[in-house]
Amino acid sequence: MKSSKPFLPWWKSITWRIQLWYGVALALAIAAMTIAFYRYEREHQLDRLDARLADLVRPILPQVAPGGARNREGPPPPRQRGEGAERRARGPGGEGRPEMPGRKVPEWLSESYWAVAWDPQGEIVYRAGRPAPDFVAYEEGRIADELRTREGHRMMRFMGPGRRVIVVGAPLTLIEPQLRQHTRKLIGVGLGLFGGGLLVGWLIVRWGLRPIGVIGRTATEIAEGDLSKRIDSAHASRELHGLAEVLNTTFAKLEAGIKEREQFTADASHELRTPLTVVIGQIQQLLSAERPGQEYREGLLTAERAAQRMKKLVEELLLLARLDEARHAKRDPMDLADVVRTVASEMRGLVAKRDAELKLDLQPAPLMGDRDAIVRVVANLLGNALQHNPTGVSIRIWTRKGEREVELGVQDSGEGIGQEEQKHLFERFYRVDTARSRRSGVGNSGLGLSICDAFVRQHGGRIEVESEIGRGSTFLVTFPLNSSS
């Protein structure tokens, strides 16, 4: 069986994204450290080379001083005297460069180094070691000491005795073996750090995202039908604790909603089955044999009452379904006191039939809302007080506007409702007492107070009940000021 999970490319994985960014940051950090260490090592090797060049200067000074070794050995041949300008032009590294007479390369001067000295007139007075590069030449007027790198050579220029310019230098190839060895070490260490860092980062990311996997598995189990599962938010991290709490609340509401829907479906089926049974039974009875016209009439009237009850139940179910979908009620101006007067006037016949006493204590209570919905609430509360209490009951209805709320109260002196029954009073299809609910001969679906509660909550209000057996009941409906004018 193929998996139902869709294929997602690796770049859509949170783990890989975090690992990728972490790897880039780690690589940049290691590269920066490697470059910094390389530059430090290069400067260190240059400092060592500079120190060796400085050590070369001390033996040279006596030989380039006026009256030094050259004076003792005598002046150079005339051929070399005439070639001073040529030497100045070509520099000390030119091809066919003349050697100074009587000059011996000192033992302390390695072939890797070179040294050149000029007198104030720009004539070479000393040269030793390997041939100097072609770019090394006497620069008239340049007498300041300096240290520079040029064309792969490290040079040290300074002013000697008798204003003679001395330049010693060496190729940078002398330090390249050490730099290459150091570079290989740096690359090896860097690659090791990068690989180890990626491994540690992968483990940390996997460990850090493990709670998300737990949440996903729990959600999958719930989706597969195990609605009792919950996420262990007590051991969740701070960042995921809030998410776990929200999901647990959502799962709890989902479970309650599904159970409520299942119960609703079962109750609705039961309520619809009863009138359907009556209708079918009456029709079957009438069709079973020839009967007098009066029996046909009575049977059809019974079937009609059952059908009317079924119609009323279906209408209430549809109304509840619409209320479940609607989030907000209409906002039309009205006076709650006028609504109560209208409902009381329309129900005068039922009040008289039940021999009830109806008292109205109405104060202006402006309200913004759906007038039809508010009429339905008042009619249901008044109808319940009349139908579910003995005849001769006393009923009081009041309205008032407080500082923060608009209030509607319906109080009766009837039988009252038990504490345990009050907890389920606003549940759908709940009946306090079947015999009590049918005392007036009018069928009760158990949806009236559920509809009232839905209408009130749609207006941002609440409905509460206070009751005591033998002392009557009080239903109190309040709407917040943001729903009032």
Residue of 413 and 1 predicted with greater confidence:
413
**C-alpha span between 414 and 174 (Å, rounded):** 113
Whether 43 has a pLDDT exceeding 60, the answer reads yes
User: Which of 58-72, 77-91, 240-254, 338-352 has the lowest average pLDDT?
Assistant: 77-91
Mean pLDDT of 67-83: 40
Report the pLDDT value the prediction gives residue 25, as an integer from 0 to 100: 92
Residue 336 sits in the same domain as residue 469: yes
Residue 462 sits in the same domain as residue 389: yes
Q: CATH number for the domain including 284?
A: 1.10.287.130
| Residue 84 in domain | no
Whether 89 has a pLDDT exceeding 90, the answer reads no
Report the pLDDT value the prediction gives residue 37, as an integer from 0 to 100: 93
Residue 409 sits in the same domain as residue 429: yes
**C-alpha span between 303 and 281 (Å, rounded):** 9
Residue 333 sits in the same domain as residue 471: yes
Whether 398 has a pLDDT exceeding 90, the answer reads yes
Total domains in the chain come to 2
Read off the pTM.
0.49
Report the pLDDT value the prediction gives residue 291, as an integer from 0 to 100: 78
Report the pLDDT value the prediction gives residue 327, as an integer from 0 to 100: 63
Report the pLDDT value the prediction gives residue 436, as an integer from 0 to 100: 52
Which domain, by its residues, includes 268?
234-321
Residue 259 sits in the same domain as residue 294: yes
Q: Over the chain, what is the mean pLDDT?
A: 78
Mean pLDDT of 439-445: 52
Task: Provide the H-helix boundaries in 224-237.
Answer: none
Residue 334 sits in the same domain as residue 310: no
Residue of 98 and 167 predicted with greater confidence:
167
Long-range contacts, 30-39 (Cβ 8 Å, 24+): 30/190, 30/193, 30/194, 30/197, 31/190, 33/190, 34/186, 34/187, 34/190, 37/182, 37/186, 38/179, 38/182, 38/183, 38/186
Whether 158 has a pLDDT exceeding 70, the answer reads yes
State pLDDT tens for residues 215-245.
778 878 777 777 777 777 666 667 677 777 8
Q: Which two tokens stand for residue 360?
A: 């109205």
| Residue 207 in domain | no
| Residue 252 in domain | yes
| Residue 395 in domain | yes
Residue 472 sits in the same domain as residue 342: yes
Q: CATH number for the domain including 443?
A: 3.30.565.10
Highest mean pLDDT among 58-67, 227-236, 347-356: 347-356
The residues, any chain, with a CB within 8 Å of residue 453's CB and separated by 6 or more, are 426, 463
Q: Which two tokens stand for residue 144?
A: 């300041």
Report the pLDDT value the prediction gives residue 443, as an integer from 0 to 100: 52
User: Which of 77-91, 134-148, 206-220, 396-410 has the lowest average pLDDT?
Assistant: 77-91
When pLDDT is cut at 50, 70 and 90, the band that residue 67 belongs to is low
Task: Express as a percent the part of the chain with pLDDT over 70.
Answer: 80
Residue 317 sits in the same domain as residue 332: no
Report the pLDDT value the prediction gives residue 363, as an integer from 0 to 100: 92
